[in-house]
């Protein structure tokens, strides 16, 4: 047992404690606090920060899902903005950041839980921070109401399929469940799985990527369209987060743009909304997502033409020749960013870029590429969709100088 002072918080939100044996990263502490440690494990807070508050979740002490329920909200929000500023400063980019936009709304509409057997009881939850030990949950208050009891539902699959991971999504018309398990949904287990499916009034149940049962196709609303969900799709974590990001993208439309290319388009989070006023070309490597986008355009009236294609934009980004017909590009890449595509955008004739990102570090790197290619970074908005975590969403608007 040793006592130390937390010097600061790191980029991922852990407290930095400097000891004679090296730097330790300690979760759920605040700068200036005196703490008792066993290695990097927090035993107790001796002198709490005046910014410390009581967490609202009863599982917070052990659960690794949230990081900042113990922190006063204004200070937490200021820290998130400062982490973004530091990433821009590392690329020698100056940017004015407006206040953080809260996009938690009613809560997260998707969750992936680990299911394990503990002392003969099947439990579901998240792993403890910096551990492979499961922190069992009986509820999760950061979820939408329809998913609040999802740990209990997920745990039921352990009895039938053994250790597994269970992903649950609150679609517009019910609950979609996808299970990844070592055991298969064999005939021996079919009756029990069907019983659970019916008892829980699920929309769809998939096991190891294959649909086991479906009462109705799960759908989500995207603008005026209803999009059929592929199995385990990428979906913005909260409805409010998606709406906020979409609003910022639509508001960034250049006045003279008559069409747009949507890169890393997924199921059409932005493409289907943009198509309300202009033709859209959409590209993504996920064939199931592109198929869902195409189906949605066919079922939705009043849209401008939408063309959609499957393309790995990491290995085969759109070329400068292909980009000639688009005055505006919207991109929303995964956490790795869009290095190859941004290099080509920088060399292209595209005049405007709206970049949506879930990682400040790769966003700042790609922003540097665009500015070196002749773009100016006009604005950046930071959206807090994954509240009480270190994650942020950014929307940057670039235009030619």
Tell me whether residue 358 is one of the annotated catalytic residues. Answer: yes
Q: From the candidates 63, 66, 164, 358, give the one annotated as an active-site residue.
A: 358
Return d(Cα 250, Cα 246) in angstroms, integer: 6
Cα Rg of the chain (Å, integer): 23
CA distances (Å), 50 to each of 30, 46, 47, 53, in order?
10, 13, 9, 8
Distance separating the N- and C-terminal Cα atoms of the chain: 58
- Continuous H helices in 262-393: 271-274, 287-299, 339-347, 360-372
Return d(Cα 273, Cα 368) in angstroms, integer: 28
| Cα dihedral 60, 64, 65, 70 in deg (nearest 10) | 40
Return d(Cα 71, Cα 27) in angstroms, integer: 12
Q: How many beta carbons lie within 10 A of that of residue 85, not counting itself?
A: 19
Q: Which residues contact 122 (CB under 8 A, 6 or more apart)?
A: 115, 116, 155, 156, 158, 159
Q: Are 70 and 91 in contact (CB under 8 A)?
A: no
Q: Which residues are catalytic?
A: 358
């Amino acid at each position: 047992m040793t006592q130390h002072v937390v010097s600061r918080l790191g980029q991922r939100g852990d407290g930095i404690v400097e000891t004679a044996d090296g730097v330790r990263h300690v979760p759920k502490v605040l700068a200036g606090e005196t703490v008792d440690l066993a290695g990097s494990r927090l035993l107790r807070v001796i002198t709490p920060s005046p910014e410390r508050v009581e967490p609202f979740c009863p599982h917070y002490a052990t659960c690794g899902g949230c990081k900042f329920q113990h922190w006063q909200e204004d200070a937490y929000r200021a820290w998130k903005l400062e982490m973004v500023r530091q990433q821009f400063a590392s690329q020698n980019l100056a940017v004015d950041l407006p206040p953080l936009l809260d996009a938690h709304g009613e809560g997260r509409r998707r969750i992936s839980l680990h299911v394990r057997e503990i002392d003969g009881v099947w439990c579901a939850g998240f792993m403890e921070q910096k551990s492979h030990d499961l922190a069992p949950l009986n509820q999760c208050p950061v979820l939408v109401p329809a998913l609040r009891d999802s740990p209990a539902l997920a745990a039921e699959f352990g009895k039938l399929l053994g250790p597994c991971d269970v992903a649950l999504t609150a679609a517009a018309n019910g609950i979609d469940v996808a299970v990844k398990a070592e055991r298969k949904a064999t005939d021996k287990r079919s009756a029990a799985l069907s019983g659970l499916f019916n008892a829980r009034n699920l929309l769809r149940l998939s096991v190891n990527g294959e649909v086991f049962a479906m009462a109705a196709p799960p759908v989500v609303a995207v603008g005026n369209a209803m999009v059929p969900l592929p199995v385990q799709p990428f979906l913005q974590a909260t409805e409010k987060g998606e709406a906020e990001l979409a609003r910022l993208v639509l508001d960034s439309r250049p006045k003279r743009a008559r069409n747009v290319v949507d890169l890393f388009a997924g199921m059409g989070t932005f493409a289907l909304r943009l198509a309300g006023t202009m033709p859209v070309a959409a590209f993504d490597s996920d064939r199931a997502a592109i198929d869902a986008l195409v189906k949605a355009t066919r079922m939705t009236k009043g849209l401008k033409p939408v063309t959609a294609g499957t393309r790995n934009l990491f290995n085969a980004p759109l070329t400068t020749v292909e980009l000639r017909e688009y005055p505006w590009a919207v991109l929303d890449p995964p956490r790795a960013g869009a290095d190859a595509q941004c290099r080509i955008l920088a060399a292209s004739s595209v005049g405007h870029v709206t970049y949506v990102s879930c990682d400040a570090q790769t966003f700042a790197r790609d922003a540097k590429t665009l500015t070196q290619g002749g773009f100016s970074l006009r604005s950046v908005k930071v959206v807090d969709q994954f509240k009480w975590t270190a994650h942020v969403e950014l929307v940057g608007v670039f235009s030619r100088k």
